[in-house]
Amino acid sequence: MSRITLVGSGWLALPLASELERLGHHLTLTTTQADKARELKTKGHKVEVYELGQQLAPDSALLQADVLLLAITSKDVEAYQGLVEQLRQADSQHLLFISSTSVYLNNGQLQDESSLALNTDSALYQIEQLIRTLPSVTILRFAGLVGPDRHPGRFFRRTGVMNNPQAPVNLIHLDDCLGIIAAIIKQQAWNEVFNGCADTHPSKAEFYPAMAASLGLKPPEPANSISGSDKIISNQKVKLKLNYVFRYPDVMQMDF
């Protein structure tokens, strides 16, 4: 079993830590807040207080881990540059970076991991390139995250307006996020890029009103303006290379 340091302690990181611990790995979580660190420790987690970009002590869990897993939302390129420079001293370490399918351009096309239709101006793309200068790195690009406390029926509750209603939906359930990450670590699938996304891609006009109705909420009003995703994310590589079977392949049949 691996020593894994999970940078993050939010919506994805906390259930991921529990799942990896269940599988027998030795986990250290990070948080930027001392109060939260104390709270997590009372729940049985090993925790290090860490803020992206800060100088690491020689005995930091980020340097001692067999697998360093970055699961935070920061897009601070300069801070990531500082981390990457420090990680060069880590010996025989693997790194798994949780990225997003937002790095693909919204060009109405099918996007797989070999696609050249990338938003090279985006901070996230630039961070990916920085991290990939390290010797053993896998990039995992997740589509929109849904699951407990992230029901898609509530996504448009604030504005009530849904732009680009004919655009396809690209989503992945939390349970499949955890499953794919565990598969990458178990199979030692390093120096790869993977997309994480469910099989089906109904239009926003079909999907989101149905999700709102399932909660008894008013459906969002379609708008003529075009913004947001207009692409389809392929998940074939993660299924073929990792032999991964999605728990929720159909976005219309997900449990929340």
User: What are the Cα distances from residue 121, in Å, to 12, 43, 118, 238, 244?
Assistant: 26, 41, 9, 26, 32
Model confidence pLDDT, tens digit, residues 192-211: 999 999 999 999 999 999 99
User: What are the Cα distances from residue 23, in Å, to 87, 92, 155, 161?
Assistant: 26, 22, 33, 42
Q: Where are the domains of the chain?
A: 3-146+170-201+232-253
Helix (H, G, I), strand (E, B) or coil at 216: coil
Q: What is the DSSP string of 56-123?
A: PPTT-HHHH-SEEEE------HHHHHHHHHHHTTSSS-EEEEEEEGGGB--SSSEE-TT---B-TTSH
User: What is the average pLDDT across 219-248?
Assistant: 90
Predicted local confidence at residue 90, as pLDDT? 85
Closest CA to 130 of 88, 179, 73: 88
Predicted local confidence at residue 61, as pLDDT? 96
User: What is the average pLDDT across 114-143?
Assistant: 97
Predicted local confidence at residue 223, as pLDDT? 87
- Of the candidate CATH numbers 3.40.50.300, 3.40.1110.10, 3.40.50.720, 3.20.20.80, the domain formed by 3-146+170-201+232-253 belongs to 3.40.50.720
Q: How confident is the model at residue 224 (pLDDT cuts 50, 70, 90)?
A: confident
Average pLDDT of the chain?
95
Range from 25-29, 183-187, 228-232 carrying the lowest mean pLDDT: 228-232
| Phi, psi dihedrals of residue 160, rounded to the nearest 5° | 75, 5
Tokens of 149: 């406390």
Q: pTM for the complete prediction?
A: 0.96
Model confidence pLDDT, tens digit, residues 31-75: 999 999 999 999 999 999 999 999 999 999 999 999 999 999 999
